[in-house]
Amino acid sequence: MALISKISQLEDEQLRAIAYMPTDYLSVLVASDAWLQFTDSDFMRIAVLLAEKSFLEGGCPIGAVVIDNVTRQILGKGHNTLVQESHPYNHGETSAMRDAGRVDFSQTTLFTTLSPCDVCASLLYMRGVSRVVVGDVTNANGNEGLLQEKGLTVDILEDEVGIALYARFRKEKPEQELEDWRGVSAVNAAR
Amino acid sequence: MALISKISQLEDEQLRAIAYMPTDYLSVLVASDAWLQFTDSDFMRIAVLLAEKSFLEGGCPIGAVVIDNVTRQILGKGHNTLVQESHPYNHGETSAMRDAGRVDFSQTTLFTTLSPCDVCASLLYMRGVSRVVVGDVTNANGNEGLLQEKGLTVDILEDEVGIALYARFRKEKPEQELEDWRGVSAVNAAR
């Protein structure tokens, strides 16, 4: 029996368990009809907890979650893996979509803790994602208009914990942040 | 001792061995100074052999190779893995760049068997790749101008074998080709 079936208010401990559990096994934690009780803020908090996980591993604190628009079930989730996989472009969005696999993204909403870069924005419209919820347009922004032009619904749902975490990361590891955004070439050019 | 040290003319068997060998172990096959004798056409043939490998596995026939501009050594290579990894966006270019890892792409040239999509084109300029060599602008094209505007050198070096292979794939598996380009949502919309 799943641990979460009827929800009064979700706590961070429960959301962290969901964030860390491999997507294929989430039914161990959450009953299928319980997903309907999860709010947009809950999914954004899961994305922020994934960002926090990445930060604790020495990586870039950016996370994302993909849910089905109807069932609200999580189909994919992940975080940036520049450090963890020595991966030159795997951002929160690409990580969560990779985890979701070959699904119809036009039936999904993607929650991201940070405004999408050009690569991720292109991926979002090329795969026809229906709605994007952005948790931080303070530390970065710019592609929200493009996504709307391409027909996506874009909602801003800023999460103060995620914004503070990203600001701390940028201050503590400016070169890592620059590499994640513009590549090693930009880091070398700035030296 | 590496098998290839002085080259008269590279044959497909040699290039196939290079295509299939994990990048980290290429020194088993090729002496470090022998890379300077590899022509652009040789690297494009390696990319096409990677595309062929993917096709033989039931996947999309698109391959790519990243080389160092000075040493001409291969730093990364790969092919589309839509089928093989159930990966919703891993194209030839993203696969080869993932394989290369956290390198300074401004010192590299990327060979791709097919004209880059919007996601890959964004990645190429976001990571500051210096030069892109495109092996097929017959089956697809469109982002060459954007890449030039962003400061990349773009060369067309069409490979007839790669073009014929991709045309065959498009004819035999039109839905798989559409999914690889525009996602499952486009396949469902076309039905």
Q: Are B94 and A97 within 8 A, CB to CB?
A: no
Report the pLDDT averaged over residues A45-62.
98
Mean pLDDT of A122-141: 97
pLDDT of B5 higher than 90: no
Q: Say yes or no for a CB contact (<8 Å) between A104 and B188.
A: yes
Q: Tell me what pLDDT residue A98 has.
A: 98
pLDDT (0 to 100) of residue B11 = 84
Q: Which residue of A has its CA nearest to B188?
A: A104
Cβ within 8 Å, pair A185-B104: yes
Q: Calculate how close chain B gets to A12, using CA atoms only, in Å.
A: 30
Q: B108 to chain A: nearest residue by CA?
A: A185
> What percent of chain A shows pLDDT beyond 70?
96
CA B87 – CA B183 distance, rounded (Å): 11
Instruction: Give B94's contacts in chain A (Cβ within 8 Å).
Output: 89
Q: Do A122 and B127 touch (CB under 8 A)?
A: no
Q: What is the mean pLDDT of residues A107-115?
A: 98
For residue A125, give the chain B residue with the closest CA: B182
> How confident is the model at residue A130, as a pLDDT?
98
Taking contacts as CB-CB distances below 8 angstroms, the residues of chain B near A123 are 89, 119
Cβ contacts of A151 on chain B, cutoff 8 Å: none
Instruction: Give the pLDDT of residue A83.
Output: 98
Best mutation target among A86, A102, A110 (most B Cβ atoms within 10 Å) is: A102
**Mean pLDDT across chain A:** 95
- A146-182 CB burial, b ≥16 within 10 A, e <16: bbeebebebeeeebebbbebbeebbeebeebbbbbbb
B133-170 pLDDT, tens digit per residue, is 999 999 999 999 999 999 999 999 999 999 999 999 99
pLDDT at A53 over 80: yes
Asked whether the beta carbons of residue B183 and residue A100 sit closer than 8 angstroms, the reply is no
Minimal C-alpha gap between B12 and chain A (Å): 30
**Of B94, B101, B185, which has the smallest distance from its Cβ to A128's Cβ?**
B185
Q: Classify residue B123 by its DSSP letter.
A: H
HEC-encoded secondary structure of B132-145: EEECCCCCCCCCHH
How high is the mean pLDDT of chain B? 95
- A104/B179 touch (CB, cutoff 8 Å), yes or no: no
- In this prediction, residues A118-127 reach a mean pLDDT of 98
pLDDT the model gives residue A7: 62
Measured between its terminal Cα atoms, the distance across chain A in Å is 55
Q: State yes or no: pLDDT of A2 exceeds 80.
A: no
Q: How many CB atoms lie within 10 A of CB B27?
A: 11
Instruction: Strands of chain A (E only): list them.
Output: 63-68, 74-79, 108-112, 131-134, 153-156
A113-133 mean pLDDT:
98
CB distance A61 to A165 below 8 Å: yes
Q: So what's the pLDDT on residue A8?
A: 63
Beta-bridge mates of residue A3: none
Q: In which band, very low, low, confident or very high, does the pLDDT at A125 lie, cut at 50, 70 and 90?
A: very high
Task: Calculate what percentage of chain B has a pLDDT beyond 70.
Answer: 95
pLDDT band at A10 (very low <50, low <70, confident <90, very high): confident
Residue B88 to residue A127, Cβ atoms within 8 A? yes
Residue B2 has pLDDT above 70, yes or no: no
**Which percentage of chain A shows pLDDT scores above 90?**
93
Lowest mean pLDDT among A5-9, A147-151, B182-186, B187-191: A5-9
Would the pLDDT of A180 be above 70? Answer: yes
The Cα angle at residue B56 between residues B54 and B57, in degrees rounded to 5: 65
How much is the pLDDT for B10?
77
pLDDT at B118 over 90: yes
Q: Distance from A9 to chain B by nearest Cα, in Å?
A: 34
Name the residues of A annotated as catalytic. Answer: 93
Q: Could you report the per-residue pLDDT of B45-91, keeping only the tens digit for each?
A: 999 999 999 999 999 999 999 999 999 999 999 999 999 999 999 99
Q: Residue A3 — very low, low, confident or very high, per pLDDT cuts 50/70/90?
A: low
**A124, A110 Cβ separation under 8 angstroms:** yes
